[in-house]
């Protein structure tokens, strides 16, 4: 797979992740705490796809590094909130396991991209 193909597939992957988070949030039992934590997850997870897309359209290496750094932060925050939902037992939805795993993989990929961008 060449770089262009990887980038397009990863854009689609982060968008799918965002959409899956939206659907997960819609199914989440609504309590005061789950609304707060769920919205935090929703905000950070949807930001992953939007900022990755922005990073791909960066006009310079410095801009790419800045945008991909935001993606790393937002993906890691999404991972945090999914862990909070799991460990507090706000949800028993099996989809949460997939979301957490997908988020972990996204963090690894964008962290490596940021590390490579720093070397350039």
pLDDT tens track for 58-112? 999 999 999 999 999 999 999 999 999 999 999 999 999 999 999 999 999 999 9
What are the chain's domains? 3-119 (1.20.1440.60)
pLDDT tens track for 35-56? 999 999 999 999 999 999 999 9
pLDDT (0 to 100) of residue 118: 85
Measured CA to CA, the distance from residue 105 to residue 51 in angstroms comes to 17
The distance between the two most distant Cα atoms of the chain, rounded to a whole number of Å, is: 47
What is the value of pTM for the model shown?
Answer: 0.92
Residue 120 has pLDDT above 90, yes or no: no
């Amino acid at each position: 797979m060449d770089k262009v193909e990887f980038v397009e597939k990863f854009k689609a992957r982060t968008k799918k992740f965002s959409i899956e988070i939206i659907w997960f949030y819609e199914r989440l039992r609504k309590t005061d705490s789950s609304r707060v934590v769920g919205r935090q997850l929703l905000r950070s997870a949807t930001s992953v796809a939007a900022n990755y897309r922005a990073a791909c359209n960066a006009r310079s290496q410095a801009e790419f590094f800045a945008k991909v750094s935001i993606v790393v932060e937002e993906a890691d925050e999404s991972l945090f909130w999914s862990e909070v939902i799991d460990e507090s037992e706000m949800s028993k939805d099996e989809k949460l396991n997939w979301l957490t795993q997908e988020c972990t993989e996204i963090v690894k990929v964008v962290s490596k991209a940021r590390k490579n961008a720093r070397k350039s």
